[in-house]
Structure 1
Amino acid sequence: MNIFEVQHDRKNTRSVKWDMLEPVFQTDDVLPMWVADMDFKAPDKVNEALIERAKHGIYGYTMVDDAVKASIVNWINRRHQWEINPNWLSFSPGVVTSLHMAVQAFTEPDDKILIQTPVYTPFYNVIKSHGRQIVKNPLRYEDNYYQIDFNDFEEKLKQGVKAFILCSPHNPVGRVWKREELEQLARLCLAYNVLIISDEIHCDLTFPGEIHIPIASLSEEINNQAITCMSPSKTFNLAGLQASYIVTANKELREKINNQLSKQGVHELNTMGNTALEAAYIHGDQWLDELREVLKSHKEYVQKMFQTQVPYITVTNSEGTYLLWIDCSTLKMEPDALRKFMIQEAKVGLNTGKDYGEEGSSFMRMNIACPRVTLEEGVNRIIQAIQNIR
């Protein structure tokens, strides 16, 4: 059987996705298709490396050595055609941690930070929790596709924006930004001296035929005014091992982020995260290529089913990630009512679109990184529930 078709029982493993249904949905009678981790086992080589490390039985302080750094450098060059220097690397437990560090390191209280909404929920918190101001550049939703409103983007930068947190590929709308889009964003940020903080955690999860371009790779000038947050966690389902890194070419910026990490007591990766990262980046290519095909097939299945069974519900055209952004506006439900409908009638646990900003009020986010049988069950539950009220 294909490794991505195997159903794994994740209950009673302290899984946020499967063991927190009651506190999140007020019932355990839903199929969880929400929080962004996968129901697939990590690559065998990763699991073997972790088991081998565990056999040693000693988990003392662990360093990120040249070999681990080389695995990252080679991966980014091989998968994204970006040549980085190992000295540009800093390490943190996760990309959200890195974003918190960046906001503190590069901005001051009351500074304005721009985000493109609807967007990944923690973006709001990493700005507000440090007393910074959120500036929104809402994405344009036209013909079931999201695009950047560059005129609005520039107008917002003119208001004195200090930093721009880019989501690339974008969560939740699934856009993989084209080169010309990234170039225009970069040109404007340079013109208004705005730091680019780029969350590229989904960079490896583009559908076949789509290409992720790290914004810092566009030019030396951009590279000097950007920091890039990456991790193997989404790619290889390693989120619980807490291993991520920041790529910063600009020495002055790098010293600031490293100083902030040090202030918070963040120094090295944990032993198992270190081990898994290296193994994934050395051995994970074939596994990832197969996964990308599976995710594309899953997206197309959901689109086809909704188009044929409930054509008034639309899956937004996306180019990457394993998260689908579903337009439920024709149901004419308020966000809370839509959420309750999915829980109580469809019995599927999705993410509520409003959590990503007001622009997502009539949307739901679905995680399709699961075996096909699970996906089909979830989709059919939603279709049946919607047909029952139409």
Structure 2
Amino acid sequence: MTSFSFSTLTNRRGTNSYKWDSAPNEDIIPLWVADMDFETYPAITEALQRRVAHGIFGYTRVPDAYYDAVCQWFSKHHGWTICKDHIIYTSGVVPAISAIIKALTLPGDQVIVQGPVYNCFYSSIRNNGCEMVSNSLVYNKVAMRYEIDFDDLDRKLSHERARLFLLCNPHNPGGRVWTTEELIHIAELCKKHNVRVVSDEIHCELTLHDNQYTPFGSLPDKLSYGSITCCSPSKAFNIAGLQIANIICRDALVRERIDRAININEVCDVNPFGVEALQVAYTDGGAEWLKELRQYISSNYDKLLDFFGKHLPQLPVMRMEGTYLAWIDCSALKETSEEIEERLMKEHKVWVNAGSMYGKEGEHFIRINMACPWQRLEEGLRRVANGINGYQE
């Protein structure tokens, strides 16, 4: 059995990395955007090198083997049977969500989200002329996790202009991996009010410890038939720059409308390297690499919890069930999340995300990317602690 190393301190500066080369100074440690500092599964790199050696990079058709890889992966690892005819490929999950909203709403329609949530949900809704409505997640400070206010969700789904419910499963930035029971409750309410579920499952492979991800599309057919799932190997295998994602929709008429919107938005052509990478990622070897990656990130999370307990006990860490994005409660501080982000970057050379970018519910939080070698994360956390403890003194 091959063992993979995730402790290599790869230098990403000077590669036009959005994460690393956007910083105003070279001595800043970036712990912000959801981009891992781990090199991808080696077999992906080898496959891309073979493709590069061909030397011609024209328009690409997506082969049957691509669809087979997606179907076999989700069947084997997540118990979800997908028909290849139900898959629409596109360049990314964000373009997919934007096209789905365009296809299934009219300007002025309501799209329901669960704030705090991934910031591109808001822009996709706004850019299509729709109204964002938040079924705000409930912060359980005892269990240290978010929970769903189902009574509030029921009320908001009942609005005459409610059309879509955008689910984030697993949830970014809250770290919840929604249980099957929670997903069924969501599905029942959406069916009751004839609101379609669009599930962003880009973080589906990144569960921590023993937490189990349930695809929304794997729910009983009577609850999930009309739903739409967006997924990609980009987060799990750190290949976001290769621009590949899939929309899975069983309803043929809805799928036709989405396909038309994909073409209207001009995101119907995909990168040849993304097509190659997905097929290699979704293999048994990719599963072994992913297993070790999850173990490493889980270890980083445990160490982060220990660090905050010792050095920043005034800032509770949300219980993480999935993703590699720690969500930190900074309500004890006398600063906005934007002020915390700016001061830590300027004065202490560490870049975290202000929680306010994920909606008003995230105002008193910061998000920290844990997907890097522990040596780098530890130094970043030291800088965070120095900045926050020094300011409080």
2:225 and 2:382 map into 1 onto residues whose CA distance is 49
Equivalent pairs, count: 386
After TM superposition, give the deviation of residue 334 of structure 1 in Å: 2.1
2:18 and 2:183 map into 1 onto residues whose CA distance is 34
Paired amino acid for 2:239: L
1:215–1:222 Cα contact (<8 Å) kept: no
1:175 and 1:345 map into 2 onto residues whose CA distance is 32
2:334 and 2:207 map into 1 onto residues whose CA distance is 32
Paired amino acid for 1:148: I
After TM superposition, give the deviation of residue 386 of structure 1 in Å: 2.2
2:375 and 2:381 map into 1 onto residues whose CA distance is 10
Q: Does 1:50 align with 2:48?
A: yes
SS in 2 for 1:78: helix
1:96 and 1:226 map into 2 onto residues whose CA distance is 17
1:198 and 1:208 map into 2 onto residues whose CA distance is 23
Q: Does 1:62 align with 2:63?
A: no
1:238-387 matches, within 5 Å, as: 238-282=239-283, 283-387=285-389
SS in 2 for 1:173: coil
After TM superposition, give the deviation of residue 218 of structure 1 in Å: 0.5
After TM superposition, give the deviation of residue 28 of structure 1 in Å: 4.3
Paired amino acid for 1:256: R
After TM superposition, give the deviation of residue 345 of structure 1 in Å: 3.5
Q: Gapped runs of 5+ residues in structure 2?
A: none
1:64–1:268 Cα contact (<8 Å) kept: no
After TM superposition, give the deviation of residue 2 of structure 1 in Å: 5.3
Aligned with 2:126 (options 125, 128, 137): 128
TM-score with structure 1 length normalisation?
Answer: 0.97
1:186 and 1:243 map into 2 onto residues whose CA distance is 27
2:362 and 2:294 map into 1 onto residues whose CA distance is 26
SS in 1 for 2:321: coil
After TM superposition, give the deviation of residue 264 of structure 1 in Å: 2.6
The equivalent residue for 1:148 is 148
The equivalent residue for 1:157 is 157
After TM superposition, give the deviation of residue 261 of structure 1 in Å: 1.1
SS in 2 for 1:307: helix
1:106-125 matches, within 5 Å, as: 106-125=104-123
CA deviations over 1:50-83 (Å, ceiling 9, x no partner) = 0011111111221111111101101111221101
Moved over 6 A (4+): none
Superposition CA RMSD, Å: 1.2
The equivalent residue for 1:77 is 75
SS in 1 for 2:37: coil
Paired amino acid for 1:137: N
1:40 and 1:73 map into 2 onto residues whose CA distance is 26
Q: Does 1:211 align with 2:212?
A: yes
Moved more, 40-49 or 218-227: 218-227
1:325 and 1:28 map into 2 onto residues whose CA distance is 25
Moved more, 213-222 or 35-44: 213-222
CA deviations over 1:230-268 (Å, ceiling 9, x no partner) = 000001000000000101111111111111112233334
2:4–2:289 Cα contact (<8 Å) kept: no
1:163–1:195 Cα contact (<8 Å) kept: yes
2:95–2:267 Cα contact (<8 Å) kept: no
SS in 2 for 1:91: strand
Q: Gapped runs of 5+ residues in structure 1?
A: none
SS in 1 for 2:236: helix
After TM superposition, give the deviation of residue 14 of structure 1 in Å: 0.6
2:78–2:213 Cα contact (<8 Å) kept: yes
CA deviations over 1:203-223 (Å, ceiling 9, x no partner) = 000013111111121111233
CA deviations over 1:176-215 (Å, ceiling 9, x no partner) = 0011110100000000000101100000000131111111
1:232–1:280 Cα contact (<8 Å) kept: yes
Paired amino acid for 1:155: R
1:74 and 1:2 map into 2 onto residues whose CA distance is 24
After TM superposition, give the deviation of residue 343 of structure 1 in Å: 1.5
Paired amino acid for 1:330: A
Moved more, 64-73 or 328-337: 328-337
1:115–1:164 Cα contact (<8 Å) kept: yes
